[in-house]
Amino acid sequence: MTSRVASGIDIVEIERFSLVDPAIRRRFINRVFTPAEQVECAGIDEHFAGKFAAKEAVSKALGSGIGKVSWQDIVITKDPWGQPTVTLNRAAAQIADALHLTDWSVSITHTRKIAAAVAVAVSSK
């Protein structure tokens, strides 16, 4: 048996979230983030930016980017200790299954201006 490692990385300017027109912001947040993700973000731009970067990083690890998978196909939530976790649905889950990617690790970091995330997935086939 061989293993495979897939990775992705993304960086986002936090200010992009605060500069979104309020009329567009609600639609954007509802399109990109699940209700659970929205609750965890609590309206805080750096949290939205971090989850956004994590979704992008996961889509890159899948080799698909956003487009073949939708934003809500990739769910980034926290475990009881605050560690980001990945849940894949629909197209993202199908791609991960086809690539035999079963175990995921995501890390998110922030400065005052940017949020960044890296995602790593491994398979056993």
Model pLDDT for residues 26-75, shown as the tens digit of each residue:
999 999 999 999 999 999 999 999 999 999 999 999 998 888 899 999 99
pLDDT at 28: 93
Considering 68, 110, 113, 125, which one is annotated as catalytic?
110
pLDDT at 2: 65
Q: At what angle do helices 45-61 and 22-32 cross, to 10 degrees?
A: 40
The full set of domain ranges for the chain reads 4-123
Chain-centre distance of CA 54, in angstroms? 3
Task: State which CATH number among 3.90.470.20, 3.30.450.30, 3.20.20.70, 1.10.3720.10 fits the domain covering 4-123.
Answer: 3.90.470.20
Rounded to an integer, what distance in angstroms lies between the CA atom of residue 30 and that of residue 120? 26
Whether 110 is a known active-site residue: answer yes
Q: Residue 125: is its pLDDT beyond 80?
A: no
Whether 47 is a known active-site residue: answer no
Considering 47, 60, 68, 78, which one is annotated as catalytic?
60
With a threshold of 0.85, does the pTM exceed it? yes
Model pLDDT for residues 65-124, shown as the tens digit of each residue:
888 899 999 999 999 999 999 999 999 999 999 999 999 999 999 999 999 999 999 986
Beta bridge partners of 12: 115
